[in-house]
């Protein structure tokens, strides 16, 4: 099984959205995503939880996790705004997504960020061939 980590600083928004979309779009028998942060907070941003609820994904029980250097079972690291602080997982395919932080944003802006993340995740899933058979496009999912 392949494993993907979506990493950000606080692990309170963007990374959780990305992991939730990824796990929804992919076959869990083949690939799985988790999220982690370099300085995780106690809880997710409430506007992020609500924005994801609007598209049918429940993050109300999600918890922030610390990004560690353990890369034994990590195949892909997607960093989202933590720059060099996320470089602590050596030896894996890494990509950096420049996605705005949802903290302090209006609910409308959080939705825009959510949709941008959904589209980026879809591109990754499609490029790697990891999609579920029922998925046909990013815009057809969870809208």
Distance between start and end Cα atoms, the chain: 28
In tens, the pLDDT along 85-127 reads 676 566 677 788 988 888 889 999 999 999 999 999 999 999 9
Q: Is residue 73 part of a domain?
A: yes
Measure the CA–CA gap between 36 and 12, rounded to whole angstroms: 9
CATH number of the domain that 22 lies in?
A: 3.40.50.2300
- The verdict on residue 137 lying in a domain is no
Confirm whether 58 is domain-assigned. Answer: yes
Domain housing 26: 2-128
Would you say residue 113 lies in a domain?
yes
The pTM for the full model equals 0.87
User: What digits encode the pLDDT tens for the residues 47-79?
Assistant: 999 999 999 999 999 988 888 766 557 888 898
Number of domains in the chain: 1
Q: Residue 41: inside a domain, yes or no?
A: yes
Whether residue 107 lies inside any domain: the answer is yes
């Amino acid at each position: 099984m392949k494993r993907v980590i979506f990493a950000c600083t606080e692990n309170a928004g963007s990374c959780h959205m990305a992991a939730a979309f990824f796990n929804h779009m992919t076959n869990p028998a083949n690939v799985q995503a988790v999220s982690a942060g370099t300085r995780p907070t106690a809880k997710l941003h409430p506007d992020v939880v609500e924005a994801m609820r609007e598209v049918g994904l429940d993050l109300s029980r999600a918890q922030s996790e610390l990004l560690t250097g353990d890369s034994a079972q990590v195949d892909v690291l997607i960093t989202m705004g933590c720059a060099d602080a996320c470089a602590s997982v050596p030896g894996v395919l890494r990509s950096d997504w420049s996605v705005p932080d949802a903290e302090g944003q209006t609910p409308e802006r959080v939705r825009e960020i959510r949709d941008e993340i959904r589209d980026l995740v879809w591109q990754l899933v499609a490029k790697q061939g990891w999609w579920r058979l029922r998925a046909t496009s990013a815009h057809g999912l969870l809208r």
